[in-house]
Structure 1
Amino acid sequence: MTEPSSPPPDAPAPPQPSPAAQPRNPLHGVTLQAMVTALSDFYGWDGLSARIPVRCFALDPSVPSSLKFLRKTPWAREKVEGLYLFMLREQRRGR
């Protein structure tokens, strides 16, 4: 009995699921950097720190420092994702 052989190292990677795999997920394909940038453009850093009170938005805010904090802090990232979804709904309403 022979064992299945593994693909050669130069074999192409298996195909990734297409973006249509999650058509109802508004966060699919949106990077954390894109979310933070869009939120800071829409609300400003002061408005963002008022809605999500974390120091990376209040004291010397920047996208890179915010990303560093949010990647380490799941609860804060969830708040950013929730606010991003709220912002998208507000934009659709025309506010």
Structure 2
Amino acid sequence: MHGITLEAMVNDLVAFFGWQELGRRISIRCFTSEPSVSSSLKFLRKTPWAREKVESLYLFVQRERRRQGL
């Protein structure tokens, strides 16, 4: 991801979906059990497969926004 931090991605996804929907779309405990940006970032930085899921969902949301002109 060029120029986009993991923190920016998480914040954007939380703003777009909310924690509950984000946890439903990416089933990891840091999004479902007492979620916070800080705890999520710690987990995602240590867990490549989870980070890839977040990056993939972020790219999907960005493509949909462009497609819809948002």
Do the two structures share a fold, i.e. TM-score over 0.5? Answer: yes
User: Greater CA radius of gyration, 1 or 2?
Assistant: 1
Q: Secondary structure at the match of 2:34?
A: coil
Higher relative contact order (CA 8 A, sep 6+): 2
% identical aligned pairs: 65
What's the TM-score once normalised by structure 2's chain length? 0.94
**Root-mean-square deviation over aligned CA pairs:** 1.0
Alignment partners' CA distance in 1, 2:19 and 2:67: 22
Structure 2: 5+ residue stretches without partners: none
Structure 1: 5+ residue stretches without partners: 1-26
What's the TM-score once normalised by structure 1's chain length? 0.70
Alignment partners' CA distance in 1, 2:64 and 2:12: 13
- Runs of 4+ with deviation above 3 angstroms: none
Cα deviation digits, residues 3-33 of structure 1 (max 9, x gap): xxxxxxxxxxxxxxxxxxxxxxxx2010000
Kindly state the Cα deviation for residue 74 of structure 1 after the two structures are TM-superposed: 0.3
Matched, 1:82 2:56: yes
Kindly state the Cα deviation for residue 90 of structure 1 after the two structures are TM-superposed: 1.2
